[in-house]
Amino acid sequence: MLHLIINPNTKKSEKVLAEAEAVLKARGAEYDVFRSSTVGDIGRETARLTARGGETVIAVGGDGTLNEVLSHIADFDGTVLGLIPAGTGNDFAAKAGIPYGAAAVDLILGGEPKFTDFLDCGGGMRSLNIAGLGIDVDILERRERKKAQGKKMSYFSSLIRSLIKYKPVKMRVVADGNEKEYSVLLAAACNGSQFGGGIPICPKAEIDDGKIDLIAVDCPNKITLPFYLIKLMRGTLDRKKIYHRILCETAEIYPEGTKSVQLDGELFPAEQLAVRIVSGKLRMYRG
């Protein structure tokens, strides 16, 4: 039995669900659908379904929906996670080789689940893609403010505005017990390779290597900012001196004055970030 879990907050996700159901019915698959209606519904339903393991839960949505499902898996023994991408960014799906929309159903019905790393962020929080602090939090907070005003702002537009106004943050970074200090634009623990709907912040990251790609990006001056922005969008920023990458199994980031962190594009209140890589535990349908 496949348990499809969806946050029906957009016409896009409902359209994808309808197309996925058509494929499932044509293939004779047994499934049910859970639609969330209030905050916390997805987490509670996931925890209920996976309390004894042995279930297949399918997130229908974007990185945020996937994160909420992952973070509430109660028992990984026998539980399999699937994804039918229906969000705007779908950053983890891109790295995991999961096609958009109903095409992902073929992967679920015809493929074999593979062990997939994730980040344990403490306090019951997890991340499949990227957990970070710095300008990525500023971007998301900027978009939330616009949303509260009834306006929409793309991630890239928010990125440009944040870059213009952002000031470097001092952060103490600890990787496998080794400590360094940076004055950075952002610091992030990466399992996946991109965020913000396709921005390749860590192109060398792998989702099954048992390692965190801990990155720190120095804050460039305003004159060189356009140059580095182009490098970031092309996925070549990691070749520049302002980019620092450390492979590790545990990572801690202690910034000055931070009130929030982002996990897979979702904001959570926190003054620091401590993560560890978890391998050989989560089985997931992916490419």
Residue range 115-166, pLDDT digits in tens: 999 999 999 999 999 999 998 898 888 888 877 787 777 887 888 888 888 8
The answer to whether residues 168 and 56 belong to one domain is no
Give the domain range for residue 142.
Answer: 130-280
Quote the pTM value. 0.93
At 152 the pLDDT is 79
Residue range 190-245, pLDDT digits in tens: 999 999 999 999 999 999 999 999 999 999 988 998 899 899 999 999 999 999 99
The answer to whether residues 76 and 151 belong to one domain is no
Task: Please indicate, yes or no, if residue 20 is contained in any of the structural domains.
Answer: yes
The answer to whether residues 89 and 150 belong to one domain is no
CA–CA separation, 270 and 174 (whole Å):
17
* Torsion angles phi and psi, residue 77, rounded to 5: -65, 115
Task: Find the CATH number of the domain harbouring 77.
Answer: 3.40.50.10330
Burial (CB count within 10 angstroms: exposed 0-12, middle 13-18, buried 19+), residue 226: exposed
Task: Please indicate, yes or no, if residue 116 is contained in any of the structural domains.
Answer: no
The answer to whether residues 171 and 245 belong to one domain is yes
CA–CA separation, 277 and 25 (whole Å):
37
